[in-house]
Amino acid sequence: MASSPPPPGRRPPPFYRLAAFLVRVYVSLVYGLRITGTEHVPRTGACVVGANHVSAWDPPVVGLSVPREIHFMAKKELFERWLPRRLFRAVRAFPVDRGANDVGAVKEALRRLQNGHAVGVFFEGTRNVSGDAAARQGAAFLAQRTGAPLVPAAIWREGRAFRVAFGPPLRTAGRARDEVPALTVELEHAVRSLLPSRT
């Protein structure tokens, strides 16, 4: 596991800013993009952003929507080749084995949070277009273990266009393990409430 990046400064590094800018321009021009609720994302200090997952575009689109540098857990398969590995690490992503209890990835996420970074987690673990997959507890666990606010984030499509919405941060009162499932349910409900009604 790679060492954690240095504590966050006032601005993300140049490559991160360039990548976010290019993706924003491309997505806005080719698909369309609307972002709401960014006032709910803490601008400094540790926080966990827990989002649903509907397409391969979600990490870059949610990432550029967050008004600060964010470090995403990403499936380890994306890091197997040299060039993608360099690119993903340059935008602060780090690998996680979705098919196992990846203690190393959890420790890396905790280190980054303890250093004051924002960490992004797609709490369903994989793409879930239907919206009926069970939520995993990773995002809630990270927030509960570090005391970081847990920010709900919803992403969906309206026709071709991407829509991203952030909700008020969720907080946990203690460190007991039995609080994690309840916080996971709270996160899932908060994200679902941000999504448009299917009726």
Question: Which tens digits make up the pLDDT trace of 71-95?
Answer: 998 878 878 787 878 888 888 888 8
Mean pLDDT on 51-75: 91
40 — pLDDT class (breaks 50, 70, 90): very high
Neighbours of 124 (CB within 10 A): 20
Question: Which tens digits make up the pLDDT trace of 177-186?
Answer: 778 999 999 9
Q: N- to C-terminal Cα distance for the chain?
A: 45
Q: Which residues of 55-82 are buried (b: 16+ CB within 10 A; e: fewer)?
A: eeebbbbbbbbbebbbbbbbbbeebeee
Report pLDDT for 104: 85
Domains of the chain: 34-194 (3.40.1130.10)
Given a contact cutoff of 8 angstroms between Cβ atoms, the answer to whether 168 and 176 are in contact is: no
The span from the CA of 52 to the CA of 152, in Å, is 9
Report pLDDT for 124: 82
Looking at mean pLDDT, say which of 52-56, 125-129, 134-138 comes out highest: 52-56
The span from the CA of 127 to the CA of 172, in Å, is 27
The pLDDT > 90 percentage for the chain reads 55
Report pLDDT for 131: 56
97 — pLDDT class (breaks 50, 70, 90): confident
